[in-house]
Structures are given as structure tokens and as C-alpha cells.
Chain A
Amino acid sequence: MNAVGIGWRHPHYRELLEGQPPLDFIEVHSENFFGEGGAALKVLEQARQTYPVSLHGVGLGLGSAAGIDGWHLERLAALIDRIDPVRVSDHACFARAVLGGVPRHASDLLPLPFNDEALSVLCCNVQQVQERLRRRLLVENLSAYVTLQGSDRSETEFLGELARRTGCHLLVDVNNIYVNSLNARLAGDGPDPLAECESWLDALPAEAVGEIHLAGHCVLDDIVIDDHGSRVAEPVWQLYQHALQRFGPVPTLVEWDTALPPLAVLLNEAQRARDVSRLVWASA
């Protein structure tokens, strides 16, 4: 069986520590623990005594042509020293740029074109981070609401080459793939979303995949938003099953970041992930 965990957010801190439900790991957003001290770090250290912790970043901006923020990298390194996480991850996105001589951070995960130039920047930044942290990074595919010009290859070729060149692992967010395919269809550019997503999963080098993310999304009239604010959608569960068949028993995380439900709902989603795994291994 693969390890299954949940994203651990502030409203659930106390309940998880007191109840200690059976989970293989918990995940937190690294940036929420960048302080030098204080209650948040103490609580995380307490949780670490019970659970392996995965540090998931949203701010490195690994694809930024402006490079990696040294302060950010040092804070992450200090947190890793303190927590000894089971995995460290961030996204294949850009976030930093210099405007009028002043650095800016988008506080969002902005897309990259899939070409040599972006790959070169991404590989260089991932290498720098891995060398500083002295550990392998996992890099996650995005949900993107705009498509930048200049791509000359598929996203899976791009990510596969990133893994090959840097030795990083890939974190496959199944919900992100599905959201992208729904949005491509809304933009008049998409075939059958499920079939497209299965092809996406099939095209990725299986040996490079180190983790899977599952989350909910929000369907509006004119766009689908990856808001992590609801249960995992049925098509995403189907894709998860396909992903496990393709990638094997990789650790899986259920994320929920907005409109947080009671902890029991997240645990229920984690149980469903285990049930899907069991089904896959039983039929293997």
C-alpha cells in the first residue's frame, strides 16, 4: 500500500494533535513556518513527533527568470534542519520578476512556456535549491489559467526532461491535470478531458513520480478554478486509479485549503484514497 496523508491547516491543528488519527504523513505549507520561533513552529515540532511531515512550498518560484530568492531558500533550509521532513516540494511555476528595478513576488503559481529557455531556467533553479538543501526536491505540475506563447513540446516532455536533468522527482497533481483539460475545453481547445488526462499520465516517466496530490476544484460558467475547497471530484478519483496503475504505490496527499470542512471529512477523503489503492493492488 502507498502512504496516504492530508494537508494540515490551522483550524485542524489542535484536533489532529489530540486525536492522532492514523495517517502516514501530514503536509504543511513551508512558508507558514518560516518564522525564527514562536507557537506555529512549536506546534509543527509537536506534530512531527507523531507524523512524518512533508514540506510543500508555494513561494520558491522555481521557474522564475529572476532566480531564487536567497532569503527564501535559507528560511526553507532552516525549517528542514528543524523538522527533518519526509519530502520537500514546490511547483513548476514562476512567481518572481523585477519590475522597474524592484523585485516583485506574485504570491501565485504562474505558468511557464514549455521550451528550452524555460527548462534551462527551471533546471538551474532546481539544481541550486537541491544543492543548498542537500536533498532531492519534488516539483509539481500546475493548474494554469493562461497559456504562455513559445511552447515547443508537451508539458509531460518538459517535466520528464526536468527530472532527467536534475534528478528531482515529480509531484503529480491529478486535479491540476483535470482542471487544465476542462479549461482547455472552455477555451475551445480540448478533446475529451478524461482521455486527455489519461494520455498525460501515460506520457510521464513513471520512475520519476514521487508523490500524487488530490484536491477539489470549483466549476464556474466560464472557468474552472483549482481552489482546493471541496471533495475530490469523481473523474479525479478515476484518474487517481489510473495514476496508481501507471506509477505504482507512490505517496498520496489529499489537499484542502479553502472553506475547510471538519477534519473528519478530510480523513474520509484519505480513507477513500486508501480504498482506491487497495482496489488497484488487489486487481494487479
Chain B
Amino acid sequence: MSAGLAEQQQALLLALWQPRQPDAIATAAAHVESVTAAGQRHWQRGLHAYRSNGQELAQRTLAAAYPVVASLIGPDDFSRMARQLWQQYPPVQGDLGQWGQPLARLLASLPELTQAEPYLADVATVEWALHRAATAADAQADFASFSLLAEGDPAQLNLVLSPGLFILDSGYPVASIINAHLLGEPTLAEAGRRLEAQAAESVVVWREGLKPRLRQADAGEATFLAAVQEGQSLADSLSSAPAFDFTGWLASAVQSGLLVGARGPTQ
């Protein structure tokens, strides 16, 4: 590993990301060719071009992952948020699809936004789950394995859930807010009424075929699914959620791709 080149590269990244840090620009300047006055002006302009490109990229990337947050806070605040996230939580990988998860944390730390819309962080958390579910591994339902549910001992059975499955217990009607924006069902007016009524919703995110899905969880469903995700047996998962109607849930869970298989003790 070469110390000289590494230092040069660190200096340029620092000047791009933390230009206000003392000496960041001066240190980078020492690594840049700018022998003429025009060259001096040009390298600063070049640095600005890289920074602008990064900020545009941040906005585009974030808008693709968080369309509902963008719609809720409006373009100006969303652009500001994207720039702030880019600065505070810069990318660590070359796939920008992986970048943006800390938006919920950032939103939660901004009282000027969350006082008016306290559900923003939960909306962001669920939108990120939808974003990740979109590229989760494909799953083929193992229909033959469902016979185990009739024949096997529930204490020895584990359920296999949709890849990308995510659950959130929210104090706000988050599923209603997001689906109102993305699908128009419920209507925005109805989502607003649920918000006014301080309705709390547990949310389930999963993938149905190639489509990421989101809905409000049934009574006890979130607790049940959390237990299954932890690797608990079917019997223990059911015990943890006594209000959950497993029999009523099963057919639609298979049909919608939320449940993709069952595993016995030897599998």
C-alpha cells in the first residue's frame, strides 16, 4: 500500500466532503497541479463540479428510495435533507442503492420537521424496507412443504417467510399514509382522518413476486412474524401472539407470497 497516493486520495475526499474542516482545502490544494492563476481558479471550480455532482446524485438516489417522504416534506426540504444526509452519512460502497438508510435517524433528529409531522421517521423506515425488499433474493414457494403444517409437530416446525420481510410497530397510521401516496388506497383524506384519530398501525413489508408490498398487520401478526423471524418454532411463535388468527391468515399469506415454505426438524 502506498502512503503517498493514499494521502493524496484522502486529501481530495476530505476536501469534497468536509471543506469547512480546517486545512481540508489547503491540504488538497497541495496535491493538485495549479501552477497558473487560471489553474488555481480552475481546480477550485473542478472541486465544485465534483461536489455538485455528488449533491445531485444524493437527491436523485434518495428520491427514488423515499418518494413518500419527498412528497410529505416538499422539494426544498427534501433537497436540504439529501445534502445533509450526504454530508453526515456519506456512502461507504460503490452501489448507491445501498445508501440512504439513516434518513429516518436524521429526520428524527430535526424537530423543525418532526413537530409538524411526527410520523416522518416511521414513514422513512418503512420506505427503506420497501426499497430493500425490491432487490431481495427471489423466492419460489415450496408448496409441497406446506403439507408439514397438517402432519408435523408445530414445536418442530419453522416457517419460511418472504425474503425482505420487515415489520414495524408504529404509533402512527404509517401503512395508511404510505399506501395513500403510492396506491391511492386508502384516500389521502382517509389517511388524514386516521392520523387525526391517532390510529396506531403495525406494518408488514414483503415481496409478492417481483412487487414490494405493504399493509397493516392483522391483530397479533407483527408479534407472530417477529417470533418466526427470530427462528422460533411455529408453536412458540403462536404462543407469543395469542391474539393472532393463524388459520385465517395462512391461505392469504401463501397466496400473497408472504409465506413461502415450512421446514421440519431435519431440513
Query: Is chain B a partner of chain A in the same complex?
Result: yes
Q: Which residues of A contact B (CB under 8 A)?
A: 31-32, 34-42, 57-61, 64-67, 69, 71-72, 75, 94-99, 102-108, 110, 112-113, 117-118, 120-121, 144-151, 183, 186-189, 222-223, 225
Stretch in B29-37, B107-115, B149-157 with 4+ CB within 8 Å of A: B29-37
Task: List chain A residues, Cβ under 8 A from B1.
Answer: 65, 67
Q: How far is the CA of A225 from the CA of B50 in the complex (A)?
A: 10
A-B residue pairs in contact (CB < 8 Å), sample of 12: A37-B163, A38-B207, A72-B93, A95-B94, A99-B17, A106-B13, A117-B5, A118-B5, A144-B46, A147-B33, A187-B39, A222-B41
Check A117–B91 contact: CB distance below 8 A.
no
Task: List chain B residues, Cβ under 8 A from A151.
Answer: 33
Q: How far is the CA of A6 from the CA of B95 in the complex (A)?
A: 22
Contact string against A for B residues 6-17, beta-carbon threshold 8 Å, 1 for contact and 0 otherwise: 101110111011
Q: How far is the CB of B199 from chain A (nearest CB, A)?
A: 31
B57 on the A face (CB < 8 A): yes
Q: How far is the CA of A99 from the CA of B13 in the complex (A)?
A: 8
Task: List chain A residues, Cβ under 8 A from B47.
Answer: 145-146
Check B95–A72 contact: CB distance below 8 A.
yes
Q: How far is the CA of A183 from the CA of B34 in the complex (A)?
A: 13
Q: Which residues of B contact A (CB under 8 A)?
A: 1-2, 4-6, 8-10, 12-14, 16-17, 30-34, 36-39, 41-43, 45-47, 49-50, 53-54, 57, 90-97, 99, 134-139, 163, 207, 210-211
Check A38–B136 contact: CB distance below 8 A.
yes
- Other-chain residue from A38, A110, A145 in contact with B135 (beta carbon distance below 8 A): A38
Q: How far is the CB of A13 from chain B (nearest CB, A)?
A: 13
Across the A-B interface, the 3 shortest Cβ-Cβ residue pairs? A59-B94, A35-B135, A145-B46
Task: List chain B residues, Cβ under 8 A from A223.
Answer: 42, 45-46, 49
Task: List chain A residues, Cβ under 8 A from B95.
Answer: 31, 34, 59, 72, 75
Check B32–A147 contact: CB distance below 8 A.
yes
- Other-chain residue from B37, B94, B210 in contact with A107 (beta carbon distance below 8 A): B94
Which residue from chain B places its CB closest to the CB of A94 in the assembled complex? B9
- Other-chain residue from A108, A149, A183 in contact with B42 (beta carbon distance below 8 A): A183
Task: List chain A residues, Cβ under 8 A from B91.
Answer: 104-107
Q: How far is the CA of A199 from the CA of B85 in the complex (A)?
A: 43
**Given known A38-B136, A113-B8, A222-B41, contact A104–B94 (CB-CB < 8 A):** no
Q: How far is the CA of A104 from the CA of B13 in the complex (A)?
A: 8
- Other-chain residue from B6, B50, B54, B94 in contact with A69 (beta carbon distance below 8 A): B94
**Given known A37-B135, A65-B2, A108-B50, contact A148–B17 (CB-CB < 8 A):** no
Task: List chain A residues, Cβ under 8 A from B135.
Answer: 34-38, 40-41
Check A66–B8 contact: CB distance below 8 A.
no
Check B92–A102 contact: CB distance below 8 A.
yes
Check B97–A34 contact: CB distance below 8 A.
yes
Check A222–B6 contact: CB distance below 8 A.
no
Check A149–B210 contact: CB distance below 8 A.
no
Task: List chain A residues, Cβ under 8 A from B13.
Answer: 97, 99, 104, 106, 110
Check A36–B42 contact: CB distance below 8 A.
no
Extra A-B contacts (20), CB below 8 Å, given A61-B94, A110-B12: A34-B97, A35-B136, A36-B137, A37-B137, A41-B135, A60-B94, A72-B95, A97-B10, A99-B14, A104-B17, A105-B90, A105-B92, A145-B49, A146-B50, A148-B12, A148-B33, A187-B34, A189-B39, A222-B42, A222-B45
Which residue from chain A places its CB closest to the CB of B36 in the assembled complex? A188
Q: How far is the CA of A225 from the CA of B52 in the complex (A)?
A: 11
Which residue from chain A places its CB closest to the CB of B133 in the assembled complex? A38
Which residue from chain A places its CB closest to the CB of B47 in the assembled complex? A146
Q: How far is the CA of A66 from the CA of B10 in the complex (A)?
A: 10
Task: List chain B residues, Cβ under 8 A from A36.
Answer: 135-138, 163
Check B57–A107 contact: CB distance below 8 A.
yes
Q: How far is the CB of B208 from chain A (nearest CB, A)?
A: 12
Q: How far is the CA of A156 from the CA of B139 in the complex (A)?
A: 48
Which residue from chain A places its CB closest to the CB of B86 in the assembled complex? A107
- Other-chain residue from B33, B39, B43, B96 in contact with A31 (beta carbon distance below 8 A): B96
Task: List chain B residues, Cβ under 8 A from A110.
Answer: 9, 12-13, 50
Q: How far is the CB of A50 from chain B (nearest CB, A)?
A: 20
Task: List chain B residues, Cβ under 8 A from A147.
Answer: 32-34, 43
Q: How far is the CA of A99 from the CA of B45 in the complex (A)?
A: 23
Task: List chain B residues, Cβ under 8 A from A72.
Answer: 93-95
Check A39–B210 contact: CB distance below 8 A.
yes
Task: List chain B residues, Cβ under 8 A from A117.
Answer: 2, 4-5
Task: List chain A residues, Cβ under 8 A from B12.
Answer: 97, 110, 146, 148
Check B2–A121 contact: CB distance below 8 A.
yes
Q: How far is the CB of A117 from chain B (nearest CB, A)?
A: 5
Q: How far is the CB of B193 from chain A (nearest CB, A)?
A: 33
Q: How far is the CA of A255 from the CA of B211 in the complex (A)?
A: 29
Q: How far is the CB of B17 from chain A (nearest CB, A)?
A: 7
Which residue from chain A places its CB closest to the CB of B209 in the assembled complex? A39
Task: List chain A residues, Cβ under 8 A from B17.
Answer: 99, 104
Check B50–A148 contact: CB distance below 8 A.
no
Check A120–B16 contact: CB distance below 8 A.
no
**Given known A146-B47, A189-B39, contact A42–B210 (CB-CB < 8 A):** yes
